[in-house]
Structure 1
Amino acid sequence: MHDVIVIGAGLAGLRCAGLLAADGLDVVVLEAADAVGGRQRTDIVDGFRLDRGFQVLNPAYPALRRSVDLDALAMGSFPVGVRVRTEGGIAELRHPVRHPLSIVATLRSGLVHARDAVALARWAAPGLVLPLSRLARNDVSLREGWDAVGLRGPLRTAVLEPFLAGVLAERDGETSNAFAQLLVRYFALGRPGLPAEGIAAVPEQLAAHARDAGADIRLDARVDRVSVGGEGRVVEVADGDPVRAARVVVAVGPDAVADLTDLPRPATNGLQTWWFAAAEAPTTSALLTVDGRGRGPVVNTVVMTHTVPSYAPVGRHLIAATCLLPRGSEPAEENEVRHHLSEIWGVDVSAWELVRRDDIADALPAQQAPLRAARSPRYAEGLYVAGDHRDTASIQGALASGERVARAVLKDAGVSGSS
């Protein structure tokens, strides 16, 4: 019998397994897929490096800095700003502290009025200095949070709303105001980007650390059921023998947690990403581009190869376009996406080759107000639950949840661990 079985080799499960194995426990990780990573996967398709949906990695996440060697990822960083399609053309808004020379162009864009700039500063300031527990007191929706500070002009409607729609996977402002403030803090402190080898480089590094510490990671091992067995737990594996351990950590995604526990299925938001290949890029800018005119279905689009050239073969460009994927609604169709992209970029996109379309129904756990505190890692005797749906909907939340569960397991096992 093993000390711990971790079900799921996503970020939370791998981080948890690595910490437990490093402290001397006998750990087995069971993963249903053919590779580690969960929602952080990367595929090579016709020479293009395609993440499973548009992803970004923020080096300002504290749990990320604790978990991986960021230098080894050879990250390319997106510019800190946003490019906005307006009725009059294109406007670029950049981080005023990092790009002070851009302030004049920002003011001339007509998107930033003095009153809105002051309102945005009032809204964002608490997120820069207060812990999440304080931000979450008397939490309201993002929409209500912006209304409360008087943020109502084009900075909100043409810039912030379309930008955050792609980040939060919803456009109605129902997300927790406190959570949005936390994300803005991380955007202010870090420069999000992507590893040269794709987002999968993160879980692959975590898996390597776990294996080096002694963890056994088994792929293509789908778990059907977890039950009580003797003094521990029995995990039944499809097309395999049962595996037994004193303790079990359920670290699956929000779409599967209800299959292995009695927990309700967490609410999620969906995203759809279209990957296009082109011989010529539609712009020389590496900024993320949004449509400030309130049109759809595309919520953001970016030339990936201006930031991570390794995402495409030499001489080709990879363009990502992301749409919302609301549950119960029809997904965007290719002709709609191409038409909207031609308007956003101002170029003919008919020759662009569609490499792949990713429909991620459970892209992010919904973070509706009021924001709930991180859920207890203990679910039942000898049974624990980890994942971003137990913390915050982010890579930071997944890793922090894995760390929290590892500490609980070590404490319950009577091990004085370093994690």
Structure 2
Amino acid sequence: MKQKETIHIIGAGISGLIAAYELEQAGFHPVIIEKQGTSGGRVQTITVEDFQLDLGFQVLLNAYPLAKKYLDLKALRLTKLESGAQILVDGKRYVIGDPMRNWKVLLPTLFSGIGTIADKVNVLRLNLLLRKKSLDEIFNTPEVSTLVYLKVFGFSDTIISRFFKPFFAGIFLETELQTSSRMFEFVYKMFGEGYAMIPQDGIGAISAQLKAKLVQTTFKFNCEVESINSTTITLKGGEKIPNQGAIVTSNAAALIPNLQDAQTKWKSCMCLYFEVNQTSIPDRTIALVADQGKLSNNLYAYKDHKGRTILSVTTLKHEGMGEEEITKTVKKEIQTYCGTGHVKHITNFRIKQALPNLENLKYTSEPSASLIAENIFIAGDTQFNGSLNAAMESGRLAAAGLIEKKSGWFS
């Protein structure tokens, strides 16, 4: 039997792992080249002292179609978050949620003061609208900013500033809701059809599970690509590898000569971790700081494997500030908002490339669209929208495009 050509995948993030899986199903033995010492890309859980900490606060939306396709959700031992949030504003705490899922939050939601009765009606309208709207329809609807979308829908400034801004700032990683309305509808629909969930062993369990499914893939860790063209992959240090077909999942503009319009802009964030003795944040609930001028945006408290209470705090207003100043300010804020006594700082993660800043968002494309140069295909959530689902879809399509090209289905 003739041996298939060796396909190289640049990057061992989610899209690279999915591409490798699909290539294995077609009989290939791919090689993944990864400049870091581990797989997962941005979806990692990192050991700091004896703490296991996610690389930024991240959740898995179990309604993602591609998560259902590629992940064994049961094996991840997922913790289901409450379908609501605690709002911290004006010295008060409000718990709001979806009474259709949890009747106990009906009265707190109605009388929270976070929005008007009309706002609550509009939430129900929005739920019904997006329940009926398909993903194809969402990603073919003309784009406006999320802020414009919400105002046109009829939401008040109060609920926008006290709920939508802090909640979606933690998802979009920007505070003014300038992200595409397509992304808002997509994420809102996914929340409505499923739950936000966190693997018991951390978000990195997703990457670990995908890597464990690969049985014919070779990994070259701590190995960095300098450039790639239609015939050759050049590594840092000068080694040259024949390019019989490659999928680039990150940093394509820097690796591929004369690649036009491929430079990605990125959103950044900073995640701070603390060990605390207690917190007023309800179990399995995200807390949102809606007061103006605060560094803290969203907070989440959980028990780790040793029974310690860990508090994750995400800030989007860290640029230009030093680590010590940020840590000191956030520590004071959580003591005020969360009723903590003892607070031990663990570590901070500054994540410069946390989420791609994209326009003209898409859900999918034809596999052939992944071909960007002879023998070179592109993947990554930068191709569609900033989500785990998009990372998986792009990896799937790049592999499908390469397989089709090798089969002579398109030239």
* 1:166 and 2:170 correspond: yes
Count of matched residue positions in the alignment of Structure 1 and Structure 2: 397
What does residue 224 of structure 1 align with?
A: 226
Equivalent position of 1:40 in the other structure = 43
Q: Distance in 1 between matches of 2:54 and 2:363?
A: 30
Write out per-residue CA displacement over residues 14-43 of structure 1, whole angstroms, 9 at most, x where no aligned residue: 100111012101311111110000001111
User: What does 1:27-176 align with in structure 2 at a 5 Å threshold?
Assistant: 27-87=30-90, 89-135=92-138, 136-176=140-180
CA gap of 1:53–1:69, structure 2 versus 1, over 3 A, is same
- Mark the CA change 1:134 to 1:157 in structure 2 (over 3 Å): closer, same or farther: same
| 1: CA distance, partners of 2:266 / 2:317 | 10
Question: Which residue of 1 is the match for residue 383 of structure 2?
Answer: 390
Q: Does 1:319 align with 2:299?
A: no
Question: Aligned to 2:60, what secondary structure does the other structure show?
Answer: coil
1:361 to 352, 357, 363: 352
Aligned to 1:250: 248
The two structures, once aligned, show a CA RMSD in angstroms of 2.1
Deviations, residues 72-130 of structure 1 (Å, cap 9, x unaligned): 11111211110011225211012211112321121121123221122334445443222
The percentage of counterpart residues that share the same residue type is 22
Q: After TM superposition, give the deviation of residue 374 of structure 1 in Å.
A: 4.5
**Other structure's SS at 2:213 match:** helix
Report Cα offsets for 1:268-309 as digits up to 9, x if no partner.
11110000012334445331101223341111011022xxx3
Q: Which residue of 2 aligns with 1:273?
A: 271
Counterpart amino acid of 2:270? Q
CA distance in 2, matches of 1:373, 1:36: 25
Unaligned runs of 5+ in 2: none
Secondary structure, aligned partner of 1:179: helix
C-alpha spacing 1:282/1:110, structure 2 compared with 1 (3 Å): closer
Question: In 1, Cα distance between the equivalents of 2:98 and 2:363?
Answer: 31
Give the gaps of 5 or more residues in structure 1: none
Tell me: CA distance 1:240–1:21, structure 2 relative to 1, closer, same or farther (3 Å).
Answer: farther
Paired amino acid for 2:76 = L
| SS of residue in 2 equivalent to 1:73 | coil
TM-score of the superposed pair, with normalisation by structure 2: 0.91
8 Å contact 1:158–1:294 — kept in the other structure? no
Aligned ranges for residues 174-213 of structure 1 at < 5 Å?
174-210=178-214, 212=215
The answer on whether the counterparts of 2:331 and 2:343 sit within 8 Å (CA) in structure 1 is no
Taking the aligned partners of 1:287 and 1:26, their CA distance within structure 2 comes to 43
SS of equivalent to 1:217: strand
Amino acid at match of 2:255: L
Q: What SS does the aligned partner of 1:322 have? A: strand
Deviation at 1:220, TM superposition (A): 1.1
- Asked if residue 259 in structure 1 is aligned to residue 251 in structure 2, the reply is no
Match in the other structure for 2:292: 294
